[in-house]
């Protein structure tokens, strides 16, 4: 997993609540046994609509997505996080994420950053005037070139995973003696 | 201060006192769709499966429900990949044709694998179903599947707790599905986010295990991490009937009377009526004797357009093209009995195509022993083989664009059952009644 220290990029805005993972990547693409290449299927049905937000030319190449509450609800399919990452996103800003999606995103190297609605509204406004943001995981803040700075708090373990691109399994295997002792205790 | 059922199971499964919490997993259920990349990850890193004896696999999401070979080459490749992975890593697999296959959340309890006090995970959000037995059960993503395969543990932040009490008795004709849809309508699709919900109260205690599984199944539709019900005599009777020896310590698995929950929700069971969803999220739900409401958000306006419905339309005037009785929510034997009781002696409306997909091979066998298959086929239903089928439409069972379906499944998202398809979530009895009438009817008004 590639480390994610700081991203400066233009921003795509998808201002919808409760975006479910069925929309992010529909079921017909879950038959693949590969982990890569899902970007082509991102929002597959919504992309057919010429007015769909992510088709706007000014959002092309955006690595930051600003979206609505409860993003990634529904199915546990990690393919949703893979599709967003493969499409080019590295950071998601939303009032909240569904629990399983949040975890899947971190393990995909995609930062799910939760911000209160007023802070997001301010960022959306700033971006509408000048479309660029920096999301700095080291400083735990979002910055707009015109001076707006919004701090955020990521779960410390998730932040470390993202900052250093760590392998979760290797970290847990360092606690193998504790796992073995637990198994022995329980018989 | 007492502790909750959740806290008792949680603390008994922490491998040590370090941070972040490392939770030991007692049962890992695996299926073909969310596991291939996890096994590949193990191979690339040269890792083994730590506890193949605590890992069980089946084939469900992709399998066709008509007899014959798997024609879709991608689906076939995914099923063959699961078989190969299980063989390579020494994992028990209940493959199609074994007689023990079925939807992963239906076979776990059937095989006696789902037990009180266990931690159970699976790469599927409806793993919450198993919480009906007083287990802590939740869905995980593929990276976590790989993590559990390699370590038998999960790094997990401790969720909050919610108690959702159903007060009073459930009226006749109202089912577990109506209870959970009503509750989601009340608290919203993110109402349980970050929480484990313990369902309690007299209406929960009165439910069969099948009913409790239906309620716990849809916890994720309220955004919750898991749902659970404290085990009782109903639980123990089910377990004994499925070859499980009941352990005395399971009787201690309940929240202490003075245990505090992070939040408490009360639902009045006495006023519940059969529920029908009208929108594209499970919280967009109305009583069958109600109307399609005025939209109150951009999401609801969008949902009405997608569903091609107008505010003020009585739910009972909505005609359906398809009926699907199946899924991990409602395809157990009791669900099929409830639907068959409504269907018996009637014919499916000529404008409707209706199908029944049993939750497992065992459910199918039992239904056939009871003659339910004949009740359905004589009425004009298609009687299929077990699988997830049109709940998510990964196999050939899908809605055509614009088709409207009364479905006993769990998600009415846009395109869930097929691109452009329109899904209304209902109970098995309500789905059966809609098949016969060609539109939604109040099942309580049928003889």
pLDDT (tens digit per residue) in A41-65: 999 999 999 999 999 999 999 999 9
Q: What angle do CA A158, A162, A167 make, to 5 degrees?
A: 90
pLDDT band at residue A1 under the 50/70/90 scheme: confident
User: ipTM higher than 0.85?
Assistant: yes
The torsion of the CA quartet B371, B375, B376, B378, rounded to 10 degrees, works out to 120
Using alpha carbons, select from B329, B292, B322 the residue that is nearest to residue B401: B322
**Pair of tokens at residue B370:** 């009871």
A18 and B155 within 8 Å at the Cβ level: the answer is: no
Is residue B406 helix, strand or coil?
strand
Indicate if the alpha-carbon torsion angle B45, B15, B51, A155 is positive or negative: negative
pLDDT of residue B447: 59
10 Å Cβ neighbour count for A186? Answer: 10
**Pair of tokens at residue B139:** 């869905």
Q: Contact B49/B90 with Cβ under 8 angstroms?
A: yes
Check pLDDT > 70 for residue A3.
yes
A-chain CB neighbours of B299 within 8 Å are: 16-18
Q: Contact B276/B425 with Cβ under 8 angstroms?
A: yes
Is residue A67 helix, strand or coil?
strand
Check pLDDT > 70 for residue B264.
yes
Buried b (16+ CB within 10 A) or exposed e, B428-437: bbbbbbbbbb
pLDDT of residue A187: 75
- How far B352 CA lies from chain A's nearest CA (Å)? 25
A-chain CB neighbours of B190 within 8 Å are: 18, 69-70, 73, 96, 98
E strand or H helix at A13: strand A11-14
Q: Contact A18/A69 with Cβ under 8 angstroms?
A: yes
List phi, psi (to 5°) of A105: -60, -50
CA A3 – CA B268 distance, rounded (Å)? 50
CA A133 – CA A145 distance, rounded (Å)? 7
E strand or H helix at A14: strand A11-14
Calculate mean pLDDT across residues B297-315. Answer: 98
- How far B447 CA lies from chain A's nearest CA (Å)? 37
Check pLDDT > 80 for residue B415.
yes
**Interchain CB contact of A164 with B (< 8 Å):** no
Which 13-32 residues of chain A touch chain B by CB within 8 A?
16-18, 20, 22-23, 26-28, 30-32
pLDDT band at residue B131 under the 50/70/90 scheme: very high
Q: What is the pTM of this model?
A: 0.98
Which among A1, A15, A17, A18 is the top mutation candidate for probing chain B, defined by the most B β-carbons within 10 Å of its own β-carbon? Answer: A18
CA B303 – CA B300 distance, rounded (Å)? 5
Check pLDDT > 80 for residue A128.
yes
Is residue B4 helix, strand or coil?
coil
């Amino acid at each position: 997993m590639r480390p994610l220290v700081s991203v400066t990029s233009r921003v795509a805005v998808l201002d919808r609540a409760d975006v479910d993972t069925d929309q992010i990547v529909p079921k017909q693409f879950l038959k693949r046994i590969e982990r890569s290449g899902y970007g082509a299927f991102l929002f597959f049905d919504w992309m057919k609509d010429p007015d769909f937000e992510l088709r706007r030319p000014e959002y092309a190449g955006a690595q930051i997505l600003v979206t609505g509450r409860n993003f990634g609800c529904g199915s546990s399919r990690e393919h949703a996080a893979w599709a967003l990452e493969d499409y080019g996103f590295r950071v998601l800003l939303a009032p909240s994420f569904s629990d399983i999606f949040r975890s899947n995103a971190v393990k995909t190297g995609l930062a799910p950053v939760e911000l209160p609605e007023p802070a997001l509204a301010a960022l959306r406004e700033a971006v509408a005037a000048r479309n660029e943001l920096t999301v700095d995981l080291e400083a735990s803040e979002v910055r707009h070139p015109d001076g707006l700075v919004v701090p955020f708090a990521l779960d410390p373990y998730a932040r470390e995973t993202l900052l250093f691109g760590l392998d979760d399994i290797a970290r847990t295997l360092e606690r193998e003696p504790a796992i073995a002792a637990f198994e022995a205790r329980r018989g | 201060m007492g502790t909750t059922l959740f806290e008792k199971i949680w603390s008994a499964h922490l491998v040590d006192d370090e941070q972040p919490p490392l939770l030991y997993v007692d049962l890992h259920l695996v299926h073909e769709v969310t596991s291939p990349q996890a096994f590949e990850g193990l191979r690339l890193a040269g890792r083994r499966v730590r506890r193949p004896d605590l890992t069980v696999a089946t084939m469900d999401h992709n399998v066709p429900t008509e007899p014959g070979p798997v024609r879709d080459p991608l689906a076939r490749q995914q099923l063959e990949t699961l078989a190969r992975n299980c063989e390579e890593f020494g994992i028990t697999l209940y493959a199609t044709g074994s007689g023990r296959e079925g939807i992963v959340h239906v076979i776990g309890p059937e095989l006696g694998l789902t037990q009180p006090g266990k931690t159970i995970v699976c790469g599927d959000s409806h793993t919450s179903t198993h919480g009906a037995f007083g287990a802590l059960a939740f869905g995980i993503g593929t990276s976590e599947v790989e993590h559990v395969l390699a370590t038998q543990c999960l790094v997990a932040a401790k969720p909050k707790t919610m108690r959702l009490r159903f007060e009073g008795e459930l009226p006749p004709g109202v089912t577990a599905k109506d209870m959970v849809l009503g509750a989601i309508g009340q608290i919203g699709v993110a109402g349980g986010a970050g929480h484990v919900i313990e369902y309690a109260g007299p209406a929960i205690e009165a439910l069969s295990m099948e009913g409790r599984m239906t309620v716990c199944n849809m916890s994720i539709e309220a955004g919750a991490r898991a749902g659970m019900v404290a085990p009782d005599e109903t639980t123990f009777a089910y377990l004994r009937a499925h070859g499980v020896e009941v352990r005395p310590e399971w009787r201690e698995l309940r929240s202490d009377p003075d245990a505090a929950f992070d939040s408490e929700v009360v639902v009045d069971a006495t006023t519940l009526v059969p529920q029908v969803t009208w929108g594209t999220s499970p919280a967009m739900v109305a009583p069958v004797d109600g109307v399609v409401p005025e939209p109150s958000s951009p999401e609801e306006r969008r949902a009405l357009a997608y569903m091609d419905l107008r505010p003020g339309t009585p739910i009972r005037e909505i005609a359906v093209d398809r009926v699907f009785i199946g899924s991990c929510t409602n395809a157990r034997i009791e669900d099929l009995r409830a639907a068959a009781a409504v269907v018996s002696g009637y014919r499916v409306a000529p404008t409707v195509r209706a199908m029944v997909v049993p939750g497992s091979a065992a459910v199918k066998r039992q239904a056939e022993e009871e003659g339910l298959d004949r009740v359905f086929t004589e009425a004009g239903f298609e009687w299929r083989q077990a699988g997830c089928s049109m709940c998510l439409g990964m196999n050939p069972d899908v809605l055509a664009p614009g088709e409207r379906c009364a479905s006993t499944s769990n998600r009415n998202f846009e395109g869930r059952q097929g691109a452009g398809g329109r899904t209304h979530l209902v109970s098995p009895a309500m789905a059966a009644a809609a098949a016969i009438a060609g539109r939604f009817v109040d099942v309580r008004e049928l003889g």
